[in-house]
Structure 1
Amino acid sequence: MQKKISKVEEEKDNSRYLRGTIREQLAQDTPCFDDSVNNILKFHGIYQQDDRDFRQAQDRQGREKHFIFMVRMKIPGGKVTSDQYLKMDELSDRYGNGTLRVTTRQGIQFHGVIKKNLKETMRALNRELITTLGACGDIERNVVTCPAPLQDRAQAQVQQYARKISDQLLPKTKAYHEIWLNGEQAYSGEQAAEIEPLYGKTYLPRKFKTAIAFPGDNCVDVYTHDIGLVAITDEKGDLSGFNVLVGGGLGMTHRKPETHPLLAKPLGYVNKDKILPLAEGIVKVQRDHGNRENRMRARMKYLIEEKGIEWFYAAVKQQTGFDLEPMREMGWKETPDHLGWHEMGGGRFFCGIFVPNGRIQDGAGKKLKSGFKKLVETFNPEIRFTPQQNILFAGIPVSGKEEFEGILKDFSIRREAEISTIERWSMACPALPTCGLALTESERVLPGVIRELEGVLTTLGLAGEHITVRMTGCPNGCSRPYTGEIGLVGSGLNTYALFLGGNFDGTRLNHLVSERVKGDEIVRSLVSVFEAFKSARASGERFGDFCNRLGVQELQKLIEAQ
């Protein structure tokens, strides 16, 4: 009996390799696309949204929604040139809402683009060799890697592999160029079999994410990905290969226990010259065996959970034709955020600057957007976006450091010493008013939560503690809340599920301790936990480790007694 596939699978199957009727609807004088192509648009890096701040007023007035679009750029390893950055800055003003949003996957998002400006936005980006193809959708997303170009690391080699893997797993359909770039029809029925040799007509069952980390530095949260690669270097410091982890993923649905976050499991070690066929082989296993009936169970993590890692290894070997070697030794040290000045070698430095929740904008007395533009125009640096939503300016000569610092001061851009420890390690997703999946606020309310936490921690003498705080407006986990020491996950209007006990290194999931905490009660509910941490922690014990040791029941008692 033929299995029933999901509606999205039918849409992909009928899309003619991601065409649908996007081109035809783009030519129509309407503010939005119809529902038939919403999911297909995502493969092109576009989300159709509406401004939810105005939704009720629009409804009362009998007017249609205020439709806007999010455009996400696919930037492997978060690396762009000065010219590319300046073009993104310009386009965000011309067609977006005047801000640039650094994602937790090292990409950039425009928000507030209207339909009639979509095509020129895409064309302008592609003229600067920036694509949005595959930034969203059921496909390999942006490949993430450690962005820091430190002089004692094989970072440049790893950055090259991030690009190679991204290129290898990029869809081959010509629909993107037809619709957004040259406008020429490149598809015919005879070509169909050759258009997607890797993905086929229906692509993957669900989104697919890859990250590359260095031993000792898990700034990419490597265990939370479908494929997690840990670079292994030889005695000369050159890249030799990768430890391979598979089956990580954080999305879940509230009160549906069959959905849950999972960390990736070890698969083996592979030499660097085999990583591309291995990555493709893993994708093929998910393509052929992933769940296409139930999207809530469609991620590769569930396939491995159901079939087992031994079955998965055998299935990958059948695709690649080779075995993997045993995992090489690796460990994790202090996870850095790469802020401040660091040597690159050759008399050059890079400087990491904190970007609150990834939003590059002017306002509230700080001019990040104008200041960053001035830095780029002055120094022509290489730009790297980080998985913590911050920005690195690379290639600054030692002679330019004083001028660089002067520009930061002129534009009131804070240095790392001016940022509290709790804010420095916090992240939030955009959520309201643009994200259609958001159940409540995230980016707009986290700064207030952080200010409250700063006050409590200062009073208790804990202001210097490194504690990760991650907030999302829904359970999909874009800001990786389920590995945070404190995870806040939107569960309803002004209501959050509270998770505690992840670790700073990102190698352990946290625990649900309260399903519904009101936004204005978040910090108050944590005071007794912080007090217990101060009085009963073991020597050198971090907050997340303390919460994990205490356990869910004891944590709940502390919160309920508050």
Structure 2
Amino acid sequence: MSDSKVSANETIKARSHFLRGTIEEGINDPLTGAIAEDDTQLTKFHGFYQQDDRDLRNERKSQKLEPLYSFMLRARVPGGVCTPEQWLIIDEIAQHLTRGNIRLTTRQTFQFHGILKRHLKVVIQKLHQRLLDSIAACGDVNRNVMCNPNPVESQVHQKVYEFAKSLSEHFMPQSRAYAEIFLDEEPLNKPDVEPLYGPTYLPRKFKIAVAVPPHNDVDVFTNDLGFIAILQDGEIVGYNVAAGGGMGTTHGDTKTYPRLGDVLGFIRPEQAQAIAEAIFIIQRDNGDRENRKHARLKYTIDDMGLEKFKAEVEKHSGVSFAPAVEVTWTTRGDRFGWQQGYDGRWHLTCYLPNGRIADTEQGQLMTGLREIAKIHQGDLRMTANQNIVVANVHEQDKAKIEQLASQYGLIREDLTWLRKLSIACVALPTCGLAMAESERYIPQLITKVDALLANHGLANQPIVMRMTGCPNGCARPFAAEIGFVGKGPGHYNLYLGASPVGTRLNKLYRENIDEQQILTELDGLFARYAKERENEEAFGDYVVRAGIIAPVYQGSEFHA
């Protein structure tokens, strides 16, 4: 590999000795709370990012102190399913070794913020004791594999969960760096080999999701690779395969854009792993390793051409796609409250504000989930909408679970659909990429937007609204009916027009506006929507039909 022809990250990976770098030396250095700059790229492959508290930067600088460095660690939890015993160790770590709370992500897992460098190994070892890890939760690898939580059709959910889990295991890096550095395991007397990844892994991150229609609660088309389960008589007979989704863009760079995955065709269940591996290998070998902003699979497909890409997938896998099966989508949100499964067991979906699990004046959510985990005999499932399902509750345990959930604020009757359908990224103060607030701001904005809706007779209208502090798209804002993307402190780009079920992107409507401008724009739009909408027409569909915004189905249309 010629260093002059690849990005700096490629050189770091190639010289890292299979993701080791000087991480071990760095975490043992007591003179700083940070690690070496190159190592900050490698630690992502082990599941954690170096961050600092941006709220305190200027104060610490004035005191001639280095930034208050800490680490965000994200776990690998395929399908978002964990046991009560695992939840209790997650809770214990959060209480004693982090900022004191837990954050559920938009990829069905959890992350901790505020871990000091000296505590990293302790956290990872405690997770390991409960069969949890953070391998490949970040970095240029296959990330946490998502699947439909499906708390009603549990039989189908179990099958897609096992499929998601098998994909996660199949694409997990084989380097022993994680075990040696963080678990103190002895090196083996043989060199590391990465049979699927090779020594430089992927050009960029790679995301997989499995959906079960009619619920698109994993936003399957926003993933690099999506499997859409096709059911017949309650059994999975195969999958439609979608490829090329991805949210990230760069402000002002029209060569970058969000994209929804294209459906390539239908395959049988036994062909799925071969198809996944073929797409993975094509991206490994053809993805852009010079320009990281152009390195996701979506750009590889657009550069190659969809038909050529599809032919390459068939060639590599030995599988020919059958015509895709027609699919109907009805919702993207979670099914809150109690649902009963086919086997008689109950499932309670609880709303968590933007995935943050903490004890606050609004509710003791962290204590409540801890108390539930102490007595729960089923499992817990994190959703792609940053909520949690207390799943597989026996009839005789239902009343006690409900009593605890109500006592600690996990069951609420005062939530509007706008709030329940919203998601937001962390942004400030810990994310180094954030240009504006997101998680800390969106709750109050929702209150004001709900008031506008009520003024126009639209109270409790289901609208998917999302916010991110930058255009990297962690909360999938470009797939929201109303999307906000941070442009600067207190200023956002406003996007409109995505499909309520995730099959169409939104488009820029107003640029770099503040809260008052946001509310003024939405007030006028809601007034028109209330008067002109068709029966049961979603807001995102209305603004397209009314010509307020042009429809966007292809990434190339996003900036047009």
TM-score interval w.r.t. the shorter chain?
over 0.9
Residue 231 of structure 2 corresponds to which residue in structure 1? 233
Residue 120 of structure 1 corresponds to which residue in structure 2? 122
Q: Displacement of 1:177 after TM fit? A: 0.4
Residue 12 of structure 2 corresponds to which residue in structure 1? 11
- Is 2:473 the partner of 1:494? no
Contact 1:175 1:187 (C-alpha < 8 Å) held by counterparts: no
- Is 2:28 the partner of 1:27? yes
Contact 1:218 1:505 (C-alpha < 8 Å) held by counterparts: yes
- Is 2:51 the partner of 1:49? yes
Other structure's SS at 1:489 match: strand
Counterpart mapping for 1:48-447 below 5 A: 48-151=50-153, 154-186=156-188, 191-192=191-192, 195-235=193-233, 237-415=234-412, 417-447=413-443
Structure 1 runs of 4+ with >4 Å offset: 552-555
Q: Distance in 1 between matches of 2:73 and 2:394?
A: 34
Contact 1:510 1:548 (C-alpha < 8 Å) held by counterparts: no
Q: Displacement of 1:323 after TM fit? A: 1.6
Residue 560 of structure 1 corresponds to which residue in structure 2? none
Q: Which amino acid aligns with 1:319?
A: H
Q: Distance in 2 between matches of 1:411 and 1:154?
A: 31
For the aligned residue pairs, the C-alpha RMSD in angstroms reads 1.6
Q: Which amino acid aligns with 1:539?
A: N
Contact 2:247 2:259 (C-alpha < 8 Å) held by counterparts: yes
What are the Cα deviations for residues 398-435 of structure 1, in whole angstroms up to 9, with x where unaligned? 233222222223223333x3211111111110000011
Contact 2:46 2:178 (C-alpha < 8 Å) held by counterparts: yes
Q: Displacement of 1:215 after TM fit? A: 1.9
Q: Structure 2: where are the runs of 5+ without partners?
A: 552-560
- Equivalent position to 1:513, from 509, 514, 520: 509
Q: CA 1:186–1:21 in 2, change beyond 3 Å: closer, same or farther? A: farther
Q: Distance in 2 between matches of 1:152 and 1:67?
A: 43
Q: Which amino acid aligns with 2:504?
A: R
Q: Structure 1: where are the runs of 5+ without partners?
A: 556-562
Compare 514-523 and 164-173 and name the one that shifted more. Answer: 514-523
What are the Cα deviations for residues 167-198 of structure 1, in whole angstroms up to 9, with x where unaligned? 0111111111011113422375xx24xx1000
Q: Which amino acid aligns with 2:286?
A: H
Q: Which amino acid aligns with 1:344?
A: G
Q: Distance in 1 between matches of 2:488 and 2:548?
A: 22
- Counting aligned pairs with the same residue, the percent is 40
Q: Displacement of 1:553 after TM fit? A: 6.4
Other structure's SS at 1:54 match: helix
Residue 556 of structure 2 corresponds to which residue in structure 1? none
Q: CA 1:231–1:554 in 2, change beyond 3 Å: closer, same or farther? A: closer
Tell me the TM-score normalised to structure 1 length: 0.95
Other structure's SS at 1:70 match: strand
Q: Displacement of 1:539 after TM fit? A: 2.4
Q: Distance in 2 between matches of 1:98 and 1:521?
A: 36
Q: Displacement of 1:214 after TM fit? A: 0.8
Q: Distance in 1 between matches of 2:14 and 2:84?
A: 40
Q: Distance in 2 between matches of 1:80 and 1:102?
A: 13
Contact 1:149 1:156 (C-alpha < 8 Å) held by counterparts: no
Q: CA 1:187–1:49 in 2, change beyond 3 Å: closer, same or farther? A: farther
Q: Which amino acid aligns with 2:34?
A: C
Q: Distance in 2 between matches of 1:543 and 1:149?
A: 27
Q: Distance in 2 between matches of 1:90 and 1:313?
A: 47
Q: Which amino acid aligns with 2:50?
A: Q
Q: Which amino acid aligns with 2:19?
A: L
Q: Which amino acid aligns with 2:386?
A: Q
Compare 465-474 and 320-329 and name the one that shifted more. Answer: 320-329
Residue 42 of structure 2 corresponds to which residue in structure 1? 40
